[in-house]
Homo-oligomer: A and B are copies of this chain.
Amino acid sequence: MPMVGPLKVKAQLLIGGELAMGPGKADLLEAIQSEGSISAAGRKLGMSYRRTWLLVDTMNRCWVEPLVQTTPGGGEHRGTRVTVMGLEVLKAYRALEAELVRAAAGPLAVLEAKLLDTPKASQAETSRGEA
């Protein structure tokens, strides 16, 4: 998830109550691309196989074409890969994140001027009364 100084920006694409794309799914697509396998990608990101598989299943149902394709069997093309559609969606999502980060710079400066470097200590145990 992109950070700019103290700012964290999270972009999520939702349809029909399902998360079509977000920071975790984008990272997973990249891991599948580099690992060439859903299970290896999940291990790389520290996720269970079941969770990894469910994220892929959701991604594959939310777009006009699947983002990840698995070719079973023993032939030359067997294995898992990110599809052309997957690469396009990933690129557009990362571009969206980058655009959000760029846009944040101006308004963020106003906030950073008022933000401390470190929070003050809590007095939660001694001043809990409300008038």
Mark A residues whose CB is within 8 Å of B.
6-16, 18, 20-21, 37-39, 53-54, 57-58, 60-65, 70-73, 78-80, 85, 88-89, 92-93, 95-96, 99-100, 102-104, 106-108, 110-111, 114-124, 128-131
Contacts and interface: CB of A to CB of B under 8 A. Distances in A.
Contact of A104 (B15, B64, B99): B99
Given A99-B104, A130-B37, A131-B73, A116 B13 contact: no
Contacts of A100: 9, 100, 103-104
A118 B85 CA distance: 18
Contact of A9 (B10, B57, B63, B122): B10
Nearest to A92: B110
